[in-house]
Structure 1
């Protein structure tokens, strides 16, 4: 139905991203660097092909996940919404609280190191602000 309300969990920036208003607001968007971390769980990916498609400087999406193992779980996704892994549990408490309070966070790949069967992905975490 065209008249139904839809919940958008991508934040305000995702609402204006493909809209003409987005071009007006883009100069007002600031990315505030918060922290360096890495992507956890890359060895447990069902589709490992995503690891060969990413590159340094790629922007990544961060999304809260209802997870029985970690109440503060934050998924790390490519812009195509392909799963890369998670923000490490040791680093995610503050970021989860910010996201739960409605703040938009994103990540950017800083390093990629292939170590045999393991791929280490370093990321910077940013607060997107207007």
Structure 2
């Protein structure tokens, strides 16, 4: 019981101090560390970074990001490739019908032909990522 009392007594004190510090300087340093290796940048972080680098207000940066996504999605839906300089190319690839095996039951199933979105990384980006095994291809 003593350990629980100490933990509950300490936990609110830390949360209170974290809340007091959070509005000042905490969020900015945390966002880049979350987007580091293995991390993920969400839409809000992308909008914030676009706003910061372009000098636009966040609302306008959000509209720009939304518009860019709409254009990319519409192009892919219509079967076009989308080249993003320095990043890579998104394209639609047809997949052939094939026979697969259902996991667990080992039952053979027929997988119909379809389409998928493929992404080819730009050589300039691939070179900066280091030797992750993709360079051998």
Q: Same fold (TM over 0.5)?
A: no
Q: Which has the higher contact order (CA 8 A, sep 6+)?
A: 1
TM-score (norm 1): 0.24
- Report which of the two has the higher share of strand: 1
- The higher radius of gyration belongs to 2
